Amino acid sequence: MKEKLKALLLYAFFWLVFFFAARLIFLLGNFSNSSELGLRVLSGTFGHGILLDISATAYILSIPMLVLLPSIWIRGEWFRYFMKAYTWIILLICSLIVVGDVVLYSFWRFRMDYTPLLYLDTPGEAAASVSNLQIAGFVFVVVLLTVIFGLLYNKFIDRQFTDRGISRFRFPLTIAFLVLLGSLIIPIRGGVGLAPVNAGSVYFSDNLFANHSAVNVVWNVGSSWFNRKPSVNPYTFGDPDRSMAIRDSLTVKTGDPEIVLNTANPNILVVILESFGNFLVGSLGGDTATTPNLNRLSEEGLLFTRFYASGNRTDKALPAILSGYPAQPAVSIIKEPRKTQSMSSLVKILNENGYVSSFWYGGDINFANINSYLINSGFSQIINKEDFSPEFYNSKWGVHDHVLFNTLRDSMAVMEEPFFRVVLTLSSHEPFDVPMEPVFEGRDELSRFRNSVYYTDRALGNFIDWAKTTEWWKKTLVILVADHCRLSYPEDLVYSENVFRIPMLWLGGAVQNPGTRVDRIGSQVDIPLVLANQMGLSAEFPFSKDFLSEGSPEFAFYVYNEGFGFITDSSKVIYDHKLGQAVLSEGINPGRNLKLGKAFLQVLYDDYMKR
């Protein structure tokens, strides 16, 4: 067993060296970009990128580990010959990807994914845009890289797999290697945390090229292949130009907005509340006991009473709130760094106007590729679980909300203004294990959820009460908004309107008429445009509307797994794409809502696919 373990460890090291060389080749092949990074950032591409290198290596090891099991029982050099053939084949495939990526990056400006494979059925057309000399150079480098590492394998690794006879301990060996095979899931996932490794896990810099350099391109191609999306828009309902015209009519600028702020350049603090829904907020007609602080604060600010989430998860909420980009059914754009780097960003607009931006979260920032999205959005500082002492890791997801708010408070003792800070809470996420005595009796899920919301509401209330005593409060806008709601009652359906109705409250000294209710329909997607217009800033968010402008169309569009809801002031429709029909139609002329919602979704998904 010792010899086989040594051979496998050497083999794993061999592939880590290959991926080190691959990253070096990428940096050299894009020398004009890499020469501007500096030694510290260049080193960071290797230090951070090794996470995906290890994951890719574990994937490559999985087949030899599986084939190794019968070699414990069957004598001969067959396993050695298999390893040699397997290695040379994988080397050739990886070399094609590595060299092809270097060539394509100068045109695409993102790391290679599976999309070039779509052109393999028409190689003539694919090669038509390159010269014979370029093709020859490409083939030469691929062969050279393959041969160099193939010979290194032959010299240093090959003999390690020589058959040394059948051990007397075949049963224990078999069990041991089965355990080892199963344990590959740990490096493949990037550790034992809740979130599996993703491309955004290795993003570490505000320089996009540096982040791209840290990505293991072989891993990226494989990941994108296994998670590939439809090649045509599955939500094509009619003429694209007609659908675009409908979308434009829904987001048309209709006039100057009603100004609700008393300053054009307030400090801005956005608190995104995990899973808070209207049914928990007494001031919105819900439960009066679960959110006493939010109920109290609702009397002190601008309360939006008909506000909707764009989707049903946090990874769908963040692009909506910060980029004005609606959620999509079945997919999530935040998981694709190549696409999010092309999105509009409220953060970048504020950065350009002198704001200091930061994002605060007590959990794993790599979950669902959130990290890469935040970096692509332009945040200059990102605080996450890793920035807190392990002694505060008292939640399955990270640190609890009172720790997050206390740390935030300490950091705001001396503030550089104007600031833009976004805080994402987490304690009201499953498993609801909050550090307080239960307020609501019962061990059922709803009772535990209400306790967790009560706890976050209390931590939030304490923070806001402290913030009111500071100097910066007088010229600050605090936006409290939920990321999404959740199914909490047996009668809740995944697409029900109530599941997407969420609170939004604007507080702070920058609010002009505190104690006001806004009854116009809006959604998370509208926040960036509404805020930019309040501040007199130029902004382009094609899927947003300014619902504070008189005459702006009143509607909310939200999605669930395979359908959408479209709500207006006079009717509502919920459409299920798998059924091919509406599952709910109410009000005056809901057929019009269905037409508008289909057009909006078609244009949205076309835009998503083109990015």
One domain, residues 269 and 212: no
Measured CA distances, 575 to 395, 563, 600 (Å): 38, 5, 13
Residue 362, pLDDT score: 95
One domain, residues 285 and 217: no
Give the mean pLDDT of 477-489: 93
Domain count, the chain: 2
The answer to whether residue 191 sits within a structural domain is yes
User: Is the sign of the CA dihedral 440, 446, 448, 451 positive or negative?
Assistant: negative
Lowest mean pLDDT among 111-125, 317-331, 446-460: 111-125
Q: Where are the alpha helices (DSSP H) in 157-291?
A: 170-183, 185-189, 208-214, 217-226, 240-250
Q: Is the pLDDT of residue 128 over 60?
A: no
Residue 465, pLDDT score: 98
Q: What is the CATH number of the domain that holds 424?
A: 3.40.720.10
Give the mean pLDDT of 261-274: 98
Query: pLDDT tens, 572-586?
Result: 999 999 889 999 999
On the question of a cis peptide bond just before residue 266, with omega within 30 degrees of 0, the verdict is no
445 Cβ contact partners less than 8 Å away, ≥ 6 residues apart:
432, 488
* CA-wise closest residue to 318 among 348, 359, 266: 359
One domain, residues 202 and 271: no
Residue 88, pLDDT score: 98
Estimate to the nearest angstrom the gap between the alpha carbon of 448 and the chain centroid: 27
Estimate to the nearest angstrom the gap between the alpha carbon of 181 and the chain centroid: 30
What crossing angle do the helices spanning 39-71 and 217-226 adopt, rounded to 10°?
60
One domain, residues 377 and 491: yes
One domain, residues 168 and 220: yes
Residue 274, pLDDT score: 97
Query: pLDDT tens, 380-437?
Result: 999 999 999 988 887 778 999 999 999 999 999 888 999 999 999 999 998 899 999 9
Estimate to the nearest angstrom the gap between the alpha carbon of 601 and the chain centroid: 20
Backbone angles phi, psi at 68, to 5 degrees: -65, -30
Domain limits at 117? Answer: 2-226
Residue 451, pLDDT score: 97
The answer to whether residue 592 sits within a structural domain is no
One domain, residues 204 and 272: no
Beta-carbon neighbour count of residue 67 at 10 Å?
A: 14
Question: What confidence tier does 169 reach under pLDDT thresholds 50, 70, 90?
Answer: confident
Query: pLDDT tens, 518-562?
Result: 999 999 999 999 999 999 999 999 999 999 998 899 999 999 988
Give the C-alpha separation, 272 to 424, whole Å: 5
Among 481, 512, 537, the domain-final residue is 537
The answer to whether residue 582 sits within a structural domain is no
The answer to whether residue 37 sits within a structural domain is yes
Question: What confidence tier does 193 reach under pLDDT thresholds 50, 70, 90?
Answer: confident
514, 492 in Cβ contact below 8 A?
no
Residue 71, pLDDT score: 84
Q: Is the pLDDT of residue 194 over 90?
A: no
One domain, residues 376 and 427: yes
The answer to whether residue 244 sits within a structural domain is no
One domain, residues 489 and 340: yes
Any long-range contacts for 581-589 (C-beta under 8 Å, 24+ apart)? 583/495, 584/495
Alpha carbon dihedral 132, 133, 135, 137, in 10-degree steps, equals: 160
Give the C-alpha separation, 525 to 327, whole Å: 9
Residue 515, pLDDT score: 95
Measured CA distances, 364 to 46, 53, 185, 384, 408 (Å): 21, 20, 19, 6, 17
547, 308 in Cβ contact below 8 A?
no
Question: What confidence tier does 118 reach under pLDDT thresholds 50, 70, 90?
Answer: low
Give the mean pLDDT of 465-473: 97
Q: Is the pLDDT of residue 127 over 70?
A: no
The answer to whether residue 598 sits within a structural domain is no
Q: Is the pLDDT of residue 72 over 90?
A: no
Give the mean pLDDT of 503-525: 97
Geometric angle at alpha carbon 203, from 202 and 204, rounded to 5°: 105
One domain, residues 160 and 279: no
The answer to whether residue 480 sits within a structural domain is yes
Q: Is the pLDDT of residue 602 over 70?
A: yes
Residue 73, pLDDT score: 86
Average pLDDT, the chain: 93
Question: What confidence tier does 121 reach under pLDDT thresholds 50, 70, 90?
Answer: low
271, 472 in Cβ contact below 8 A?
no
Share of the chain above pLDDT 70, in %: 97
Among 537, 559, 583, the domain-final residue is 537
Helix (H) or strand (E) holding 273: strand 267-273
Give the mean pLDDT of 230-254: 94
Lowest mean pLDDT among 29-43, 100-114, 495-509, 591-605: 100-114
The overall pTM is greater than 0.75: yes
Give the mean pLDDT of 101-112: 86
**Which two three-digit tokens encode residue 129?**
């845009």
Query: pLDDT tens, 15-25?
Result: 999 999 999 99
Q: Is the pLDDT of residue 168 over 80?
A: no
The answer to whether residue 602 sits within a structural domain is no
Give the C-alpha separation, 552 to 17, whole Å: 58
Residue 30, pLDDT score: 95
Q: Where are the alpha helices (DSSP H) in 279-415?
A: 292-298, 314-323, 337-340, 346-352, 370-377, 401-411
Give the mean pLDDT of 194-215: 91
One domain, residues 426 and 510: yes
* CA-wise closest residue to 117 among 200, 233, 224, 215: 224
Residue pointed to by tokens 């798998």: 578
Helix (H) or strand (E) holding 65: helix 39-71
Any long-range contacts for 176-185 (C-beta under 8 Å, 24+ apart)? 176/1, 177/4, 177/65, 177/68, 177/69, 177/72, 178/69, 180/65, 181/62, 181/65, 181/66, 181/69, 184/58, 184/61, 184/62, 184/65
Give the C-alpha separation, 527 to 354, whole Å: 20
On the question of a cis peptide bond just before residue 431, with omega within 30 degrees of 0, the verdict is yes
One domain, residues 205 and 99: yes
Give the mean pLDDT of 161-172: 76
Give the mean pLDDT of 107-124: 72
Three-state DSSP class for residue 293: helix
Give the mean pLDDT of 501-518: 97
Give the mean pLDDT of 113-125: 65
* CA-wise closest residue to 597 among 583, 267, 195, 103: 583
Among 226, 251, 276, the domain-final residue is 226
Q: Is the pLDDT of residue 92 over 60?
A: yes
Question: What confidence tier does 206 reach under pLDDT thresholds 50, 70, 90?
Answer: confident
Q: Where are the alpha helices (DSSP H) in 278-391?
A: 292-298, 314-323, 337-340, 346-352, 370-377
Query: pLDDT tens, 274-284?
Result: 999 999 999 99
One domain, residues 137 and 286: no
**Which two three-digit tokens encode residue 522?**
């809006």
